Structure 1
Amino acid sequence: MKICFFGSSLVSSYWNGAATYYRGMLKEIAALGHDVTFFEPDAFERQAHRDIDDPDWAKVVVYAATPEGWRSSLEEAARSTDMLVKASGVGVFDRELENAVADIPSNAMRIYWDVDAPATLESVTDNPDHHLRHVIRSYDMVLTYGGGDAVVSAYRGIGARDCVPIYNALDPATHFPAPPNPHFTCDLSLLANRLPDREQRVERFFLDVARQLPDKTFVLGGSGWDSKDTPSNLHKVGHVGTGDHNAFFGSGLATLNVNRDSMARYGFSPPTRVFEAIGAGACLITDQWDGIDHFLEPDREVLVAASGAEVAEHLAALRPERAQAIAARARARILSHHTYRQRARQFNDLFAASSSRIEAAE
């Protein structure tokens, strides 16, 4: 099956939290025999901050971030593809692309792939005139990388024909234990870009903890934190490219996951960082949200904290031997049940009947 995918970026993780998900999913989808072309805009200096070359498992088309750029790319895709995918959060001309994918003449299946369903649905809820209320019924299916039953119900409620979560996962060929890097050595690390709907939770679950535990060391990675006032026992390292993620996660006693507000409210939304960190052999502490036990067993495979005070309690009591045992159990669980190869098979099963019809017609 030929798949044309419009997303933020496949080749750059710069201000692009979906990069790991795109790479993991599409590599394994291609490995199942599908022909993948990824269309991405030349925007947000991502091409200047590439962290991978064009992969051999997908064709990458970079189009100008202009109306003419996206239109010509979409017209090219619609003529040649069996499945036309519009991902959320491309960053430029999202509304125009979502409307156009729904309307453009084509025999292709149309898939809306939401890589931040909680945020999208909150935006729809807050705006009765939101364009997705009108166009989502023109898509054959909505796929999401998280959200569980709440997201499925919400999408069906605005007219989606169907909605299926295909969760974040681990690519063990990309995220694996690596030698520690002294630049990232600490008691607790956090990798997260500074975003408005995450910053208050980072304050409570990470920065306040650093202030409460002056004898512990903390490392904060991610873009946008330069101007943030932080305690002296916290080291800010800025943007961390994907090539350094394994060392980042593996250099501390533990690493922290802090979901954004909307993801925490909807639950069942583990971000890519959870799987990256565990793949790299990290002991994970996460903020509390519904559905964590669908992926990891609390206290055995992950430490769960409902507040910054509980993060501080976990960290104060954590010894290297226990951290290593938690990390090993978590990695074994994720490798057994939550890899992108397994997610790609889920995708394949969803569209097996359509693929068979396409192959019969060729």
Structure 2
Amino acid sequence: MRLVVLGLSLSSAWGNGHATTWRALLRAFAARGHDVLFLERDLPWYAAHRDLPEPGFCRFALYNDVDDLADWRHAIAAADAVIVGSFVLDGVAVGRLVQRLASGVTAFYDIDTPVTLARLEQGQHDYLSPDLIPGYDLYLSFTGGPTLDVLEQRYGAPMARVLHCSVDPQAYPPLDCATRWDLSYLGTWSADRQPVLERLLVEPARRAPHLRFVVAGAQYPQDIAWPANVERIEHVPPSAHPAFYAASRFTLNVTRADMVRAGWSPSVRLFEAASCGTPVISDRWPGLAELFAPGEEILLAGSPEEVLVALHDPGGQRRQRIAAAARARVLGAHTAAHRAAELERHLLAATHRHADHRRAAEKMPL
């Protein structure tokens, strides 16, 4: 299959969670024998932090603006499938171009589905507009559950299918490292996540000054008053994620408000940490129990008290048991190889549907 992808970023994981998702998925998809071309908008904030300028698993090219995509019109037209990702700059114009040029299947991969739907309801159509959705043969959604019905019934998506993020277990192995922190958090600053981070990490740090905490990620305001036992790291590149998780007794997962409301929206942090053998303490949201068994494969917390109870683990036996169970769950269902096989099935189903519609249209009398 010849696949063209226009995504937010493949070359830089700075300040976004898209790059690691695309890397794992497309590396595994290419390993299934497919040809992949990734087109990325050349943006200064990613250009200054490119940690994968030359992906070895696909062809990669930068473009300057929508007009510059004219150089790739033949590749788009000849592809068996073209995927446009969420949060692509000028994504509406990019989507219209793809839908006009492509002869194969067109798909939209929404790595931010609840955020996208909230923006659509507010009239914000910067990377996707309601009129574009029915024009995509396939809507791949980071979020599952009832959201798929919303996409099909309210917005007219012909096929809405879940495609959660995943992890490449070879890139995220367990490491034998000395423990530096009792609880870590890895994530870019977000206004709606910050109150939960304050409740589930900052306040526990204040109450337990003998424990060690860390918050890693870009764009945090300078005026945040971190307790003395909370270390700050501006950025951890993906290559250093396994060592970061290995140095953590537990790691925290905090979900954006729109994704909590929608449910069924697992962060890539869940899969990466589990693959690295680090147990996760997570906030609660619908659908989480379908991915990891609470108390057995993941710990849930909604208050500082619950976090401190979870961190109290004399001997570390509970930690080791949960870590092993979560890793087994991820290796059995949430690797990049699993997602690549799912993507292939979804694209083939959309291809058959696309061909059926074309044949039906050709038979219609003029």
Q: 1:181 Cα deviation (Å)?
A: 6.0
Contact 1:226–1:236 at 8 Å: present in 2 too? Answer: no
Alignment equivalent of 1:211, drawn from 191, 203, 206: 206
Contact 2:138–2:350 at 8 Å: present in 1 too? Answer: no
Structure 2 residue 67 is the aligned partner of structure 1 residue 68: yes
Contact 1:179–1:250 at 8 Å: present in 2 too? Answer: yes
Q: 1:226 Cα deviation (Å)?
A: 5.7
Moved over 6 A (4+): 354-358
Q: 1:122 Cα deviation (Å)?
A: 0.9
Structure 1 residue aligned with 2:218: 223
Structure 2 residue 246 is the aligned partner of structure 1 residue 247: no
CA distance in 2, matches of 1:355, 1:322: 47
1:33-72 maps to which residues of 2 (within 5 A)?
Answer: 33-64=33-64, 66-69=65-68, 71-72=69-70
CA distance in 2, matches of 1:298, 1:17: 25
Question: Counterpart of 1:107 in structure 2: which amino acid?
Answer: S
Structure 1 residue aligned with 2:334: 338
Per-residue deviation, residues 129-185 of structure 1 (Å, max 9, x unmatched): 88621111011010012x222220221111111100111222111111123267xx1
Structure 1 residue aligned with 2:83: 85
Structure 1 residue aligned with 2:98: 101
What secondary structure is seen at the aligned counterpart in 2 of 1:297?
coil
Structure 2 residue 266 is the aligned partner of structure 1 residue 270: yes
Q: CA 1:196/1:44 → structure 2, altered by over 3 Å: closer, same or farther?
A: farther
Question: Counterpart of 1:197 in structure 2: which amino acid?
Answer: D
Per-residue deviation, residues 98-129 of structure 1 (Å, max 9, x unmatched): 33323x23312110110110100111122298
CA distance in 2, matches of 1:236, 1:226: 12
Per-residue deviation, residues 174-225 of structure 1 (Å, max 9, x unmatched): 111123267xx11100001112232222122221221222221101110122
Structure 2 residue 192 is the aligned partner of structure 1 residue 197: yes
What secondary structure is seen at the aligned counterpart in 1 of 2:130?
helix
CA distance in 1, matches of 2:72, 2:117: 25
Alignment equivalent of 2:138, drawn from 128, 141, 145: 141
Structure 2 residue aligned with 1:289: 285
CA distance in 1, matches of 2:45, 2:177: 30
CA distance in 1, matches of 2:188, 2:125: 30
CA distance in 2, matches of 1:179, 1:129: 46
Contact 1:180–1:248 at 8 Å: present in 2 too? Answer: no
Q: CA 1:341/1:76 → structure 2, altered by over 3 Å: closer, same or farther?
A: same
CA distance in 1, matches of 2:212, 2:301: 19
Per-residue deviation, residues 230-270 of structure 1 (Å, max 9, x unmatched): 11110001100011100101101111100111111111111
What secondary structure is seen at the aligned counterpart in 1 of 2:305?
helix
Q: CA 1:98/1:302 → structure 2, altered by over 3 Å: closer, same or farther?
A: same
What secondary structure is seen at the aligned counterpart in 1 of 2:45?
coil
Q: TM-score, normalised by structure 2?
A: 0.90
Structure 1 range deviating more: 316-325 or 116-125: 316-325
Contact 2:15–2:219 at 8 Å: present in 1 too? Answer: no
Structure 1: state its 5+ residue gaps: none
Structure 1 residue aligned with 2:361: none
Structure 2 residue 24 is the aligned partner of structure 1 residue 14: no
Structure 2 residue aligned with 1:161: 158
Q: How many residues align?
A: 352
Structure 1 residue aligned with 2:360: none
Contact 1:254–1:282 at 8 Å: present in 2 too? Answer: yes
Question: Counterpart of 1:271 in structure 2: which amino acid?
Answer: S
Structure 1 range deviating more: 193-202 or 237-246: 193-202
What secondary structure is seen at the aligned counterpart in 1 of 2:312?
helix
Contact 1:193–1:222 at 8 Å: present in 2 too? Answer: yes
Structure 1 residue aligned with 2:357: none
Q: CA 1:17/1:354 → structure 2, altered by over 3 Å: closer, same or farther?
A: closer
Structure 1 residue aligned with 2:359: none
CA distance in 1, matches of 2:261, 2:2: 36
Q: CA 1:313/1:353 → structure 2, altered by over 3 Å: closer, same or farther?
A: closer
What secondary structure is seen at the aligned counterpart in 2 of 1:298?
coil
Question: Counterpart of 2:84 in structure 1: which amino acid?
Answer: K
Contact 1:198–1:260 at 8 Å: present in 2 too? Answer: yes
Structure 1 range deviating more: 206-215 or 168-177: 206-215
Q: TM-score, normalised by structure 1?
A: 0.91
CA distance in 2, matches of 1:53, 1:105: 28
CA distance in 2, matches of 1:318, 1:257: 22
CA distance in 1, matches of 2:173, 2:5: 27
Q: 1:289 Cα deviation (Å)?
A: 0.9
